[in-house]
Amino acid sequence: MVSKLSRPQLASLLALFAGMVVLAVLPAYIDPYSLRIVTGVLMWAGLACAWNIVGGYAGYISFGHSAFFGIGAYVTGILMQRDLGIPFLATLPLGILVAVGVAAAIGGPTMRLRGAYFAIATWAFAEMLMQMAIVLDITGGTAGLSLPAYLNEFFFYYTMLIVALGVYLGTWYLLERTRFGYRLKALRDHEPAAEAMGIHTTRVKVQAFALSAGITSLFGSIYAYWVTFIDPRSVMGPEITDQMVVMVLLGGLGTVWGPALGATVLWLINRYIWSELGDTAIYLPILGLIIALIVLFLPNGLISLLPGGRRGHGLLGRLLRKL
């Protein structure tokens, strides 16, 4: 439905098309190290987009998304072990199914909570899952799991590219053009009013949470196969969620393309620090600093600086007030 494309939407689509062409031919022009960085950008862009569905469109700050990333990674990792030998592509839908099921089960009770209570509940859930991954045998515990190596950077680049593009286009359509998107934005802006209009807000929130979890899990699966080794900290650590949150805030909360922008900038900073200093210890303080600067000076994110960027929305302030 609803109406024809507006001028900013048309401009976005044209920019997207141009970007797709550039990204499609990019591997032919850059070295393997740079290709790996761009592959990371694509993955984080997709993850930020997934978090934005819950944080930006539903207005609920989840600190538990690393759990879904880990679920995807572990489902793929476990199923690809030699004794099972399930092909990589077959593990993807299974990872998604598990994550969606867990999100639906967790979302039912937690999405009735508001503000800080929801944030704390999701954080606790992620911590619980990480502890389980540490103590269970099937996950390899702290020793982690090794996956069969597939040393083809082009495969992972194009896989990430296709999945990330699919996620962005699907999200754009779902959130900007369908009833589901309107329901989500309505409950984000005024939940009692949304209910008074007949919207079953709890159901919509759980649907959004499950959708977001499924996408996050998908990237977790691809990541596991890409890096060939996973352990609880590397795929379920809180830094994964923190990064998603900051990428969305930096790019533009509640916008379709803001998370991609934030992910690009932040991941390039991350990689620059790593290449210059040899580790990323200073990266977390930088994340904190970026959050402070966004809250103070750029509440609508980097995307608001672009031509046609949205006007003075108060989403960040609204979310912070909830906390």
Partner 1 sequence: MYAGADSQTVRHSPLVLEGLVKHFGGVTAVAGVDLEVESCEVVGVIGPNGSGKSTLFNLISGMLPMDEGRVWLVGKEVTGRSAWRIARAGLARTFQIPSLFDNISVRDNLLAAAVEGDWKGAPRRAGEVLEMLEISHVADNLASELSGGQQKLLEFGRVCMRDPSVILLDEATAGVHPNIRRIMLEAIRRVREAGATFLVIEHDMEMVREICDRIIVMDAGQVVAKGSFDEIADNVEVQRAYLGRQR
Q: Confirm or reject binding of residue 1 to partner 1 (CB under 8 A).
A: yes
Terminal alpha carbon distance of the chain: 35
Q: Confirm or reject binding of residue 185 to partner 1 (CB under 8 A).
A: yes
Q: Confirm or reject binding of residue 196 to partner 1 (CB under 8 A).
A: yes
Q: Confirm or reject binding of residue 197 to partner 1 (CB under 8 A).
A: yes
Closest separation between CB of residue 11 and partner 1, Å?
16
Q: Confirm or reject binding of residue 190 to partner 1 (CB under 8 A).
A: yes
Closer to partner 1 at the Cβ: 195 or 239? 195
Q: Which of residues 250-279 bind partner 1 (CB under 8 A)?
A: 254
Residue (of 42, 43, 257, 54) closest to 169 by Cα position: 257
> Which span (24-32, 144-152, 175-183, 285-293) binds partner 1, by CB under 8 A?
175-183
Closer to partner 1 at the Cβ: 25 or 196? 196
The dihedrals phi and psi of 316, each to the nearest 5 degrees, come to -65, -45
Closest separation between CB of residue 287 and partner 1, Å?
25
Token pair for 180: 């589901």
Closer to partner 1 at the Cβ: 85 or 312? 312
CB atoms within 10 A of CB 51: 24
Q: Confirm or reject binding of residue 200 to partner 1 (CB under 8 A).
A: yes
Closest separation between CB of residue 81 and partner 1, Å?
45
Q: What secondary structure, in 3-state letters, does the chain show?
A: CCCCCCHHHHHHHHHHHHHHHHHHHHHHCCCHHHHHHHHHHHHHHHHHHHHHHHHHHHCCCCCCHHHHHHHHHHHHHHHCCCCCCCCHHHHHHHHHHHHHHHHHHHHHHHCCCCHHHHHHHHHHHHHHHHHHHHHCCCCCHHHCEECCCCCCHHHHHHHHHHHHHHHHHHHHHHHHHCHHHHHHHHHHHCHHHHHHCCCCHHHHHHHHHHHHHHHHHHHHHHHHHHHCEECHHHHHCHHHHHHHHHHHHHHCCCCCCHHHHHHHHHHHHHHHHHHHHCCCCCHHHHHHHHHHHHHHHCCCCHHHHCCCCCCCCCHHHHHHHHC
> Which span (84-92, 98-106, 160-168, 178-186) binds partner 1, by CB under 8 A?
178-186
Q: Confirm or reject binding of residue 183 to partner 1 (CB under 8 A).
A: yes
Q: Confirm or reject binding of residue 321 to partner 1 (CB under 8 A).
A: no
Number of chain positions touching partner 1 (CB under 8 A): 28
Q: Confirm or reject binding of residue 170 to partner 1 (CB under 8 A).
A: no
Q: Confirm or reject binding of residue 315 to partner 1 (CB under 8 A).
A: yes
Q: Confirm or reject binding of residue 111 to partner 1 (CB under 8 A).
A: no
Instruction: Kindly write out the interface string for residues 207-246 of this chain, putting x where it contacts partner 1 by CB under 8 A and - elsewhere.
Output: ----------------------------------------
> Judged by CB under 8 A, which of 189, 237, 280, 283 binds partner 1?
189
Q: Confirm or reject binding of residue 179 to partner 1 (CB under 8 A).
A: yes
Residues interacting with partner 1, by CB under 8 A?
A: 1-3, 179, 182-183, 185-186, 188-190, 192-201, 254, 311-315, 318
